[in-house]
Amino acid sequence: MTSDQTPAQRLPTLEDVAQVAGVSRATVSRVINNIRNVDPQLHKIVWDAVSTTGYVPNRAARSLVTGRTGSIALVVSEAENRAADDPFLGRFFSDPFFGRVVGGVLSVLRPSGVHLALTLAGDEDACAKVVADVRQGQVDGVVVLSLHPHDTLPRLLADAAVPAVLYGRPAAPMPISYVDVATYTGAKLAADHLAARGCQHVATISGSVDMPAGADRLHGFREAMAKQGVAYVPSYDGGFTHEGGERAMERLLAEHPETDGVFVASDVMAQGALAVLRDHGKSVPDDVAVVGFDDSSAALASRPQLTTVRQPVEDMAAEMARLLLARIDQRANRTTSVIFDPELILRASA
């Protein structure tokens, strides 16, 4: 029996990859299946050969060899009581923060041949399914963006002791790994900068204070201003949204028109706050200096461009992926926290 398939049509094999890479078939198999103890240089050589030959690993066979799926899930967990006109997917894809997280995670997963699946968990059933998926081997582990303070998913993952890493400190102490930025340090950078500019009437627009990021940025800023001799700092909750930043600035100007310096706990909120200042004829930074937090694309899109506290989102997300892969490979069996240092980025707004 003969085949009509020509050599040009034949799918590339492990042997083809091994020949191009100049290594044994067994080495190629170990690299593709993410078996440990392979020299990093060989790892690169083999994956370059995979790209050159166009070889596509058989995921089913790979799973049988390794006992793993070669996939992890990025889970975005948000409260289910969202407004009808504010769809979850719209917020997810429009907020620059999420794109930066995805980019950082993929920078680690791609060289390892690990696939990323996006999962949206908006209710208790969805959270339970995430845990079940890891336990049943649908994915090898999860990295989690938990966006509301009463989220049960971190606790479910911790109790199940499955491979998981959070972006940001959990709202309550629990045995789960996470990465975060030194928020108090970042808030102090903003406070010290406004004080150094000579601002006499300082206020802040906070994020949701029932979330660790919102509470820490508010408390850190107030504590730093207290050390500067400022006993009272007015605060308005902007809920980490553009519209919330607008509303908070409107209230701030109505109740404290003397304000000459504002720390806004996210760049997205700061963008909204700057628009309100323009509408009220306020010059930034001459009348009101504004400092944001994140150093997202919103900081560059703002007018004027925003002085802000940078959290290295891509680096933090990449570290999440590294911690998770180490846990999946059983190179790390205890929970771990990694805290990144913030940096003040000076631009035109302060």
CATH code at position 34: 1.10.260.40
**Is the domain of 253 the same as that of 155?**
no
pLDDT at 224: 97
Structure confidence by residue, pLDDT tens digits, 222-254: 999 999 999 999 999 999 989 999 999 999 999
Q: Give the C-alpha separation, 273 to 96, whole Å.
A: 18
Together in a domain, 193 and 299: yes
**Predicted confidence (pLDDT) at residue 82 exceeds the cutoff of 70:** no
* pLDDT value, residue 93: 59
Q: Has residue 237 been placed in a domain?
A: yes
- Domain contains 111: yes
What local confidence, expressed as pLDDT, does residue 137 receive? 82
Given this model, what pLDDT does residue 34 score? Answer: 63
The answer as to whether 2 is a domain residue is no
Burial of 295 from C-beta contacts in 10 A (0-12 / 13-18 / 19+): buried
Q: Give 35-45 pLDDT, tens digit per residue.
A: 656 677 787 88
Query: DSSP 3-state assignment of 164?
Result: strand
Return the half-sphere exposure (C-beta side, CA atoms, 13 A cut-off) of residue 232.
3
Please tell me whether residue 302 adopts helix, strand or coil conformation: coil
Q: How far is CA 37 from CA 5, 40, 50, 249, 326, in A?
A: 38, 9, 19, 55, 13
- In-domain check, residue 38: yes
- Is the per-residue pLDDT at 57 higher than 80? no
Residues 47 and 85 in one domain: no
pLDDT of residue 269: 95
pLDDT in tens, 167-216: 999 988 999 999 999 999 999 999 999 999 999 999 999 998 888 899 99
* pLDDT, position 220: 96
**pLDDT on residue 80:** 54
Residue 25 included in any domain: yes
Residue 249 belongs to a domain: yes
Question: Is residue 198 a part of any domain in this protein?
Answer: yes
pLDDT tens-digit series, residues 259-276: 999 999 999 999 999 999
Q: Give mean pLDDT, residues 100-111.
A: 91
- What does the pLDDT read at residue 165? 96
How many separate domains does the chain show? 3
CATH number of the domain at 84, please.
Answer: 3.40.50.2300
pLDDT band at 156 (very low <50, low <70, confident <90, very high): very high
Tokens of 11: 């799918």
Instruction: Kindly state the average pLDDT of the residues 279-298.
Output: 95
* Residues spanned by the domain of 48: 14-57
Q: How confident is the model at residue 52 (pLDDT cuts 50, 70, 90)?
A: confident
